[in-house]
Amino acid sequence: MAEFKEVPADAPVAQKVTNWFENRFPTAFAGYRVHMSEYYAPKNFNFWYFFGSLAMLVLVIQIVTGIFLVMHYKPDAALAFASVEYIMRDVPGGWIIRYMHSTGASAFFVVVYLHMWRGMIYGSYRKPRELVWIFGCAIFLTLMAEAFMGYLLPWGQMSYWGAQVIVNLFAAIPFVGPDLALLIRGDYVVSDATLNRFFSFHVIAVPLVLLGLVVAHLFALHDVGSNNPDGVEIKAKKDASGKPLDGIPFHPYYTVHDIMGVSVFLIAFTAIVFFAPEFGGYFLEFNNFIPADPLKTPAHIAPVWYFTPFYSMLRAITSEMMYVLIACVIAGAALGVLKARIGGLFKMAILGGALVVAALMLAIDAKFWGVVVMGGAVIILFFLPWLDYSPVKSIRYRPNWHKYVYGLFIINFLILGYLGVQPPSPIGERVSQVGTLFYFGFFLLMPWWSRLGEFKPVPDRVNFAAH
């Protein structure tokens, strides 16, 4: 048992109360010191570092508003849509809670996408932060599952038919696909059983996983320390007391610093909630204000905007595109054989494997490979720490043309997202196919192109100018 700390008899009441709690709950105060007041973060953070704290804020908004929505929502196919209308029209303050939750879903993906983009341009996935990045990608994947399941709950036309399309994709998996789709739906069509399953996962199971991953992400980050725009390890330079020379305590400096980011975010967030909660049909589709009708299919079914880049990649995989992918597989295997320093037997195995994959790609329906590409577009992010061979972390010290490559990547991603909400067209299909090839080429060719060019010298200490 630890010794109790004593305070002077004339100490302020606040200090006495704090001391009383610290003596009885020292773990909480130790955690506060480790993760806040004595956690040293680089002093050169810029605005890109707002989005981690904003993601935490949106998570809290989603949990709190979700709790109030569950109080009035009915997870029943016959009552779900009416219960949402009841929340909007009859529950005091229900409309703002619902709009905060629906806007929060899109806001979550906005800040998470920007947070991941910051990690990419500053090399925050590089050693020793590989596990931090992996936990972050797992959060992103879990968030997609959470959003997809929540998307069904309003039981509107787009909720129903969007879920029907996405769940049916699993049926394209050879051998186990039909049974897997049946397991997910709980019925032969999207029905009351599906709604109940998705409600249970959306409200209980997936949030628990999400919270666990967020805690793991933060603990892993604070164990190895935060990256910074220069990609310099601040722990390498310490003063006599062991504190990083280029570090400052997270609290109070960055807690106060983040208040500005939170203020700007809340201004934009509340403006959307009060004046444009549907955001032109991107945050809340107009078809979702129509009750689900299994007998009437909407003219154009598309997922919410944050899924559309991956949906574009799914639609890009046609029978014609399969020949291009087969050519890419064979070319990749041939390049690997030429470049790899391995024995002839292993080279033959690589070529043989490529031919087997090519044969499977011809034998199995393109719809299945579309699902593989859509899933692979997310899974490939997990391997980014081992694909980047650049000798420096930050984009600041890479060759200038690297910035154009990253810029093209984000433009390509936005174009894929735009095409995903548009009805299918021959031109859109061709553009999405080129965009899909560029997306995967960016990552798969990274071991080659990330080493090219003239790199700038990285400073010993961070560049920082007080402002």
Written as one letter, the residue type at 217 is H
101 is in an annotated binding site: yes
- C-alpha span between 438 and 416 (Å, rounded): 11
257 is in an annotated binding site: no
- C-alpha span between 417 and 308 (Å, rounded): 5
Helix (H, G, I), strand (E, B) or coil at 156: strand
35 is in an annotated binding site: no
DSSP 237: S
222 is in an annotated binding site: yes
Q: Say if residues 235 and 20 touch (Cβ distance below 8 Å).
A: no
- C-alpha span between 385 and 120 (Å, rounded): 10
For 97-113, give the DSSP string.
Answer: HHHHHHHHHHHHHHHHH
251 is in an annotated binding site: no
| Closest by CA position to 262, among listed 61, 66, 36 | 61
DSSP 464: -
Q: Do you find a cis peptide bond into 252, omega within 30 degrees of 0?
A: yes
Nearby residues of 169 by Cβ (< 8 Å), 6 or more positions away: 314, 367, 370, 371, 374
Point out the annotated binding site for a ubiquinone: 222
Binding-site residues, in ranges, read 101, 115, 202, 217, 222
**Binding site as annotated, residues for heme b:** 101, 115, 202, 217
